[in-house]
Amino acid sequence: MAGSAAVGAAHGAAHAQKHPYHLVEPSPWPIVGSIGALLLTGGAVMWMHRAAGGRWVTLAGALVVAFTMVMWWRDVLKESYSGAHTPVVARGLRIGMLLFITSEVLFFASFFWAFFWGALVPPETVPTSWPPAGIEPVYTWGVPFLNTLILLLSGVTVTWAHHAIKANDQQTAFKALLLTVALGLTFTMFQVYEYIHAWHEGFTLQSGMFGSTFYMATGFHGLHVQIGTIFLIVMTMRAWYGTLRPDKHVGFEAAAWYWHFVDVVWLFLFVWVYWWGGSLRWVTTGEG
């Protein structure tokens, strides 16, 4: 028996991991998430084309995607707690988040490109104007300026939380994150108010290039604020349970980077879409 145990120990040692990388166990979440994404996008197309059951397929896809995210990230946290996230793995996670944010920068760059194209290169064959006739842009120094102050303040509070985590002050980190989440939710409520007011004033997605690019750019930014707020809610819960360690908090770093990215995009939106785009005026005759 002793000899058998020794052989087993030697066999286990021979197969012990001799590298710092994490070999992921087989997981059902990639295929489940893919099915959810297919249902979500396919259902959205069905819904837009008024096909029967489109909204229910979309809802089912959204629920599957949300369930996948919760379960998949739960497994990632378990891997981290088990010690599988070595410094090499943590560096890879950081690089992955930076690459994701880079892709998001290019995503928003396409909307800015469309906005500047519509503002600076008017069509020569048909009469048009910027903004469209009868449309009054959103007042820059009202809700947009207030939301700018809110997001800038939230950037300060999330940085405060980061410093608290590095000092192993989980209680202060929790308070700072809670304040950041409250500011994110406040931003969203003000943007909803802004949209409702503008829509009732006749400024809609159908308001030419000005309206379509305005709502696509600011709307997707609002969606990112909501995603970032959920991200920060998870970090707030982790701070409450005291699981954000001073020497290892890659998840929080990812959330903070994402939130700062949301802040920077909003500054570009405020300056170029609300301020510059809202004050620009021209009319063409369409005789080119």
**What pLDDT, in 10s, does the model give residues 5-40?**
444 444 444 456 677 887 788 899 999 999 999 999
Show which of 46, 70, 94 is a domain's final residue.
70
Q: Are residues 121 and 191 in the same domain?
A: yes
For residue 97, CA distances in Å to 50, 147, 157, 253 come to 37, 26, 21, 9
- The CATH number of residue 210's host domain is 1.20.120.80
Q: Is 228 part of any domain? A: yes
Same domain, 187 and 61: no
Decide if 197 contacts 129 (C-beta within 8 A): no
| Weakest mean pLDDT among 16-30, 49-63, 171-185 | 16-30
Residue 238 has pLDDT above 60, yes or no: yes
Lookup: tokens for 49 = 């084309």
In a domain? residue 75: no
Structural domain of residue 66, as residue ranges?
Answer: 27-70
**187 and 54 in one domain?**
no
pLDDT > 90 in the chain, percent: 72
Paired tokens of 31: 């295929």
Q: What is the pLDDT of residues 91-131, one digit of tens each?
A: 999 999 999 999 999 999 999 999 999 999 887 777 788 98
Residues 139 and 61 grouped into a single domain: no
CA distances from 118 to 39, 54, 152 (A): 34, 33, 29
Q: Is the pTM of this model over 0.75?
A: yes
Range 150-178 average pLDDT: 96
Q: How big, in percent rounded to 5, are the helix, strand and coil portions of the chain?
A: 75, 0, 25
Q: Please check the confidence at residue 154 and state whether its pLDDT lies above 50.
A: yes
Strand partners, 245: 248
Q: Write b or e for each residue in 81-100: b if 16 or more Cβ atoms lie within 10 A of its Cβ, otherwise e.
A: eeebbeeebbeebeeebeee
> Whole-number mean pLDDT of the chain?
90
- Give the chain's domain count: 2
The CA distance from 199 to 279, in Å, is: 19
For position 3, what pLDDT does the model report?
A: 46
Tell me whether residue 77 is in a domain.
no
Do 195 and 128 reside in the same domain of the chain?
Answer: yes
Evaluate whether residue 44 is within a structural domain: yes
Which candidate, 39, 43, 69, 34, places its Cα nearest to that of 227? 69
Looking at the structure, tell me whether residues 56 and 94 fall in a common domain. no
